[in-house]
Chain A
Amino acid sequence: MSPAALIQAADPRQQVGEFAHYLRQHGFALGYAEVELMVQSAAALPVQQWERIAGLWRAIASGSHTQWSRYPEVHQAYWFPNKVKGKTRNSGLTQRSRSLPDLVKQMHSDMGDDPPGAAKPLLGVTDVPGSGDMEAPDSPKRAQGGASRTAPQDQRDFSEWLPGDMDRFEPLVEAFKRRLRTKLMRRYQGHPDHGAIHLRRSLRSALATGGELVKLHHVKRKRRMPQVVVLVDVSRSMEAHAQFFLRLSRALVEIMNARAFVFHTRLAEVTPLMRQRSKRIQEKVNAVSFGFGGGTRIAHCLNEALDVHLGRSLKRGDLFMVLSDGYDTDEPQGLRDVLARVQGRGARVCWLHPTVDVPQSAAVVLAAEHVTRFMPVHNLASLSRLPELLV
């Protein structure tokens, strides 16, 4: 049977369902309603305008800017695989060829005179293997013999990671964020329907209804999410680890709205840079850090962060995270004093070090009493212990 005949024989809805399944494999979240909408939109267009379908399906399938940018490539790869450069073709596999124009023609002939908005039961789609059930992955194979289910990446040191591996930070930071509890403040703020009655405001608004208390105004105590401050040491001794710590701090900025600083002999805030989704971020952060020279002045930089940048914004329950190996050229007492100041404000001081053991530099040993917790973050497994910082 020729490919064209195969297409004629196949149900167009099923083909759209297969495409939806393909999209799901590429990270697009499509349900029944979306597949139905894709079918409807293709049927609503005149046959001659089948080329518009990519744009319409893009609007249906995408839910974010990232997906929006990726869609054309995925669409092209599925429907026009021959046009995709660098495609590897496996011989011996009998895969039915796809043709979007033919599919649209077939859809029109099948659906006839249906009005564009008319909903039809989505026949065929549920029969597509995997297309109907998004939650039906094959159960993972159990480890057998001496095999382990632990991904080698979990135990691999950060200095051996490739840039592509960095995306694994986000889920861990997400888990960390979930553990962060809001703090109850003394001040009150209005709430639409819960909390204590705000008598003055209620009486004031009752003036509009002749003194009748028709609508009560409520207030509740404010809640505040603890602020997270990340300070990354980018000195020469941290060269091998700095970019991974910067990536971690970027995840903290994106997910937990943290404030990020880099320091060396001087300090610079990089929070706005971390928020930008530019490819040149790394270059810019490097430019900022390379300008400082080779030494490390931790105490001086932490003091600057505290006095110049954070001001009074560091409060009780906040998280003050220092990512450093602890080698300091300042006086050892300097670090102890500044960390005592941080702790005096009620913030938790967490020292994340790239070594397995706690740094043994004189400054860190002296300041250890003011550090709430030391934690090694040399690989992914150790990073999964981040929530312990909040205990």
Chain B
Amino acid sequence: MTVHVEKPDAAHSQAWATPEGLREQLFKAGYIADEDLASLVWMGLALERPLLLEGEAGVGKTAIASACARALHRPLLRLQCYEGLDLSQAVYEWNYSRQLLEIRLAEAGQGDRNTLRENLFSEDFLLERPLLQAIRSPQPCVLLIDEIDRADEAFEAFLLEMLSEYQVTVPEIGTLKAVSKPLVVLTSNGTRDVSDALRRRCLFHYVDFPTLARETQIVRTLVPEAAGRLVEETVAFVQRLRKHDLEKIPGVAETLDWVRVLFKLGHVELPIDPQLLLPSLAALLKTRNDRWQVTAETVARLLDGPRMGQDVGVAGAMTVNTK
């Protein structure tokens, strides 16, 4: 649950004092954010507001949270939402086994019964789950609440208190306030509408598919071993493929997978023969209909589009300002 954490120093804490500084830190952490996204994360930090990221699967919503954790040198706590997720899995649960053990010990005369009565429902017997861990952590962390649209509406309603006040109310104890305020990142694939009350508490950003130039740079950064020409041609191919009406449009994650597959197959550029490419398209096309729709002819047409030299002129010229 917790990722690589380094001890923060003054330089790191000042690194995100400006949106440019934060963008640079994210770049160093392996995430190429556009200006709007970097500004959004910066604002989330500055104003202590949760971020709600919506977009197609595979565009890098979850990766933003882990990149923020690396860039800010904070621990990452992740809560994967699903239907039926309840407070005992997300926030806290009483440690019943330990409570019973204490009771048995008291019955056997090895403990003070009066103290036990008072302490049985204290924080000592509380098992902290990700949400409570995030606000009780002495060091600020990054809290990723992934795929909030999969959780029930009741859970969403519970989040309102946590996201607006950074506190959790445990009936037996009272209200537990945040020791440190985490950077909260909520992601949604838009499978259902998140409530307006939750949206109001968050800063919204729609993460779209990246432009050709940005995607080329992402792939170059994350798959440095692949040949430059292969990366450029592959990204251009995927960009053209996205314009087709597919059921599941390939995201950046799929592009990265495909480049890795082609690299492992020993290609240094996209082969001209579509038949050579078809088997590897399993990395890009994830439904039966899409596989059926993208035939050898379609692949040949996509390969024959504007060749890479013209497409990547933009990519070659583009550099992220990290200085």
The chain A residues found within 8 Å of chain B, CB to CB, are 29, 31, 33-34, 37, 40-41, 44, 46, 49, 52, 55-56, 58-60, 62-65, 68-69, 116-117, 190, 192, 208-210, 212, 214-215, 272, 276, 278, 280, 284
> With an 8 A cutoff between CB atoms, is B11 at the interface?
no
Given A208-B96, A215-B96, do A41 and B47 touch, yes or no (CB 8 Å)? yes
Set of chain B residues within 8 Å of A55, measured between Cβ atoms: 35-36, 39-40
Please tell me if the beta carbons of B200 and A34 are within 8 angstroms of each other in the complex. yes
A63 to B195, CA, bound (A): 10
Q: Determine the residue in chain A with the shortest Cβ distance to B206.
A: A68
Given A55-B35, A272-B247, do A117 and B97 touch, yes or no (CB 8 Å)? no
Please tell me if the beta carbons of A59 and B40 are within 8 angstroms of each other in the complex. yes
> With an 8 A cutoff between CB atoms, is B190 at the interface?
yes
Q: Determine the residue in chain A with the shortest Cβ distance to B104.
A: A210
Q: How far is the CB of B55 from chain A (nearest CB, A)?
A: 8
Interface of A is mostly: helix
* Cβ contact of A117, chosen from B48, B54, B104, B206, cutoff 8 A: B48
Q: How far is the CB of B164 from chain A (nearest CB, A)?
A: 9
Please tell me if the beta carbons of B39 and A52 are within 8 angstroms of each other in the complex. yes
> With an 8 A cutoff between CB atoms, is B118 at the interface?
no
Please tell me if the beta carbons of A278 and B245 are within 8 angstroms of each other in the complex. yes
A117 to B46, CA, bound (A): 6
13 contacts between A and B (CB under 8 A): A31-B200, A41-B46, A55-B35, A56-B40, A60-B203, A63-B204, A116-B47, A190-B84, A208-B96, A209-B97, A215-B96, A272-B247, A284-B245
* Cβ contact of A208, chosen from B36, B54, B97, B247, cutoff 8 A: B97
Can you list, as one digit per residue, whether each of B86-122 has a CB less than 8 Å from chain A (1) or not (0)? 1000000000110010001000000000000000000
Given A52-B19, A59-B43, do A210 and B100 touch, yes or no (CB 8 Å)? yes
Q: How far is the CB of B98 from chain A (nearest CB, A)?
A: 10
Set of chain A residues within 8 Å of B97, measured between Cβ atoms: 208-210
Please tell me if the beta carbons of B100 and A44 are within 8 angstroms of each other in the complex. no
A239 to B74, CA, bound (A): 62
Number of contacts between A and B (CB, 8 Å)? 78
A192 to B154, CA, bound (A): 11
Q: Determine the residue in chain B with the shortest Cβ distance to A206.
A: B96
Q: How far is the CB of B27 from chain A (nearest CB, A)?
A: 18
> With an 8 A cutoff between CB atoms, is B307 at the interface?
no
Interface size class of B (residues with CB under 8 A): 20 to 34
> With an 8 A cutoff between CB atoms, is B301 at the interface?
no
Q: Known pairs A49-B19, A64-B193, A190-B84; list 13 more (Cβ under 8 Å).
A: A37-B49, A40-B47, A58-B36, A59-B39, A59-B205, A60-B203, A63-B196, A63-B199, A68-B206, A208-B97, A210-B104, A214-B100, A280-B245
Can you list, as one digit per residue, whether each of B167-207 has a CB less than 8 Å from chain A (1) or not (0)? 00000000000000000000000100100100110011110
Can you list, as one digit per residue, whether each of B11-51 has a CB less than 8 Å from chain A (1) or not (0)? 00000001100000000000000011001100100111100
Set of chain A residues within 8 Å of B40, measured between Cβ atoms: 55-56, 59
The chain B residues found within 8 Å of chain A, CB to CB, are 18-19, 35-36, 39-40, 43, 46-49, 54, 84, 86, 96-97, 100, 104, 190, 193, 196, 199-200, 203-206, 245, 247
Please tell me if the beta carbons of B18 and A59 are within 8 angstroms of each other in the complex. no
Please tell me if the beta carbons of B204 and A62 are within 8 angstroms of each other in the complex. yes
Centre residue among B193, B196, B204 by max chain A CB count within 10 A: B204
Set of chain A residues within 8 Å of B199, measured between Cβ atoms: 63-64
Please tell me if the beta carbons of B47 and A44 are within 8 angstroms of each other in the complex. yes
Set of chain B residues within 8 Å of A215, measured between Cβ atoms: 96
Please tell me if the beta carbons of B200 and A209 are within 8 angstroms of each other in the complex. no
Q: How far is the CB of A192 from chain B (nearest CB, A)?
A: 5
Q: How far is the CB of A389 from chain B (nearest CB, A)?
A: 25
Set of chain B residues within 8 Å of A210, measured between Cβ atoms: 97, 100, 104
Q: How far is the CB of B302 from chain A (nearest CB, A)?
A: 18
Set of chain B residues within 8 Å of A272, measured between Cβ atoms: 247
Given A31-B200, A284-B245, do A117 and B47 touch, yes or no (CB 8 Å)? yes
Please tell me if the beta carbons of A209 and B46 are within 8 angstroms of each other in the complex. no
Please tell me if the beta carbons of A59 and B203 are within 8 angstroms of each other in the complex. yes
Set of chain B residues within 8 Å of A214, measured between Cβ atoms: 96, 100
Set of chain B residues within 8 Å of A46, measured between Cβ atoms: 18
A52 to B23, CA, bound (A): 14
Please tell me if the beta carbons of B100 and A209 are within 8 angstroms of each other in the complex. yes
Q: How far is the CB of B279 from chain A (nearest CB, A)?
A: 26
* Cβ contact of B46, chosen from A44, A60, A63, A65, cutoff 8 A: A44
Please tell me if the beta carbons of A116 and B36 are within 8 angstroms of each other in the complex. no
Please tell me if the beta carbons of B206 and A44 are within 8 angstroms of each other in the complex. no
Q: Determine the residue in chain B with the shortest Cβ distance to A191.
A: B84
